[in-house]
Structure 1
């Protein structure tokens, strides 16, 4: 993830640069950009927490001594007792640092959490003062600063929100090996960390709008998942109360309603289950003007028929898409580009996003498909491929692309949200903590792609486009890989693979001339090769003479002329 570094941060410790305080104030016009950036930063923790970070000693004032609780009222402990943090602003700063423990957080990001899009001119100096007070409390080894920002050196297990994620990830591994009893136990332990609404007494409007909502969504999904798994394995924990609490808070959440109906039915409370369905239908009709979806209807039908629903309510099945097009036969060259893509995937810094740019016909899609097939084993939860038609007059709208992606992930047509934002939220939720490769081909610009980006670093995204998509590089941390034309030798090798090495070796100069005429673009070379394959008696020199005599000016035009 790219991190914006203010001019004040260059050349030394960020805490000593007060003279640029006005720069934070000057950026107030981009609150949405900061929110998106922060969400992507939060997603990094979902990719890295399992490895552990920082030094974990237990000496007084060491990183292993402190713990921060955010899933409920804010709480700081020193290993034996609660340490009060009475200042609202200090609490905001410490909460923001704890959510990204082990990662540097910039002054601008902290200012955004403190004042939103209206930071005062003294924002930088105030942030510095707040951090210095926290450093005196925690110790310099726990709260550090460098030219990137401030870093809270705590292991994920010392921050309840990050431990919550670790337990969910462990539950994913248990589910993958078929151990659903362990999966239910791990999900129960994760939910036990919650003591109330996330960040309950952290008085930051931005953190409640972004961070608290994100963690609450994860908790709600975990409640549903634990209920489904518990019902599947035949265990009868007291899940009815948890589901009732969730339904009361979110009465339009159909999955929770369906699970509650099933749980009541399984507990022998058939009348209550039928009453719950009637209430669910009433709310949906009155609030949204729609009938219950297929999950609710099925749960209702099971109650009416008094079916044994033990098998039906298993751990939610995840559809595993495998949408990559076939690999290109005779793929030539691109070793450096493939190595670069491998390096970007392994960098471990946030959501890996690679952008392949270059002119039409240079082979961006073929390279994307070749690399995706090479690494597909590293994405066991699926590979999504979407042609966005950005090179046409009518690029595919993001809402339409999200609808197709959701269908690929197993969402029923009736369950796809109507609006783009709702689709994007569901898409990110489905991909959270999953290892999925998303290939977005023929993107028009950065705004075309941004709604389709997953929210967690466990996924990877590969984008192709004729434009440089610099907005993705600047704001979303994407890495650009420029796809160049083939070398002369690679171009001739591509022709030889298509028409035969003997035919090329018989006219090497003509083969080289044809490669130059085609601009060493793979698409133009393949079209020319197709012409030669269709006419085995046509000498290479004759095709070169024919194309040289045409009134064409670009390799793309020659590409069409050759056909």
Structure 2
């Protein structure tokens, strides 16, 4: 599994999507120093100077050896993706060929943007993508030593320069209103950047705000006088005179305005819900999604489709993945529940209207016809990096009208169907969690936010691990069922878990037990079964009653397998999902009371 290293923010080292654990403090400083100088032999004395600012203790050499040994343990045995080799009087860090470093990706994207020449939208796309890789201040928390402090300062200067270059691209493309909020945020952090003040003046002037442009000059002049004791340079003074004179040269090279301009350029939409608390597991699925939707250069629109049975955690995974790749989509995220599992699915016209409004397009400019709405949506997304999250899709036709027209965007779809006819999509089919992950999920919900990290690693719930194992197996490790069971246990903290496990062991009380508040596994699975085509539903009923199948059932079996109702265990061998089987066995009219003799979890 590949390793990724993040320097553009707090030091972050991951194997796949899981963080590699290592000691804090000086151990992380040693790693950051070696990564920043990878392939170069670093003398122990040089490391000591960084760690102790020129005043190392007598145990410095021994301490450094201890830090390096701890790092080697973190990365594992050879062939490790990150190798720290002993050299005479020092160490050398080497990275495997598939090891990703965010700094390298940032610089590669910047080079692509600068190579775009007279194509401002192409330049903007690459530069925005590069800036989206940043997660905060470079090497945040590790910049006390002289070298790392200087190295981080150089990286910050590179970022500042790229921000101004992407603004230049927007000004060349006529996106003046879009540039204004970017520049205001930039100048809040970097108030003495004269070129940025000139950019703000230019953007405000072309937005028709001449007084704002003049005020921007006055602000810049006062800052330079007060903090540096100097007057504005020639770029600012010449631009100031041109604005005062309303010089024709300011309009000479002005590009044609965009056909669609957002009403509120200060607003970058981020409609994706917050991550689900206690989200656990799905490491390989997240890793695949990151590879497809991540910042790598591509020529076609990346699409990921997440499918599976109701309650398997499709939305939770999609939301977690959307937040994971958010840095690669600096222009925001559009999210919609397409209501594909209900009687009233959302229409593409309805969803596009919400998406356009979220981007600031006035309602009176949104056309009524679907083709025109689709065209307007794609026009607003052209040249931008936006992730479109389409949750709970009914089918391919509903999704196709919502797809952006540019490869710079990304699309993440969830649905009970795999949507096999959606061209170019990568598919992630979810089943129940592996039992250790299901136990960790139960423990995380049971222990609450304060102990969630320890619960996920198997801490406070160890004493009940065997009982929790019984519970999650009764839930078929279906995430929604596991969450409901844990919520039931949480509501009765003094009640032994054995009692809950006993209710779930008994098939006659299992579905009734898996219900709390507005969460009901019976209703979710019943709705999923009723949404099946009639012939597929009849076949599922037959299989639930242990009746056989014929050769004519092959297509219907594929429908049931793709929907997660069945698992194919070999040629001609199928297993009905345990909770689905119980739902199909009931097969009683709506509202008919279930007959239960066992004690309830009250």
When normalised by structure 1's length, the TM-score is 0.47
Asked which structure has the greater RCO (Cα within 8 Å, sep 6+), the reply is: 1
Higher relative strand content: 2
- Alignment TM-score, normalising by the size of structure 2: 0.44
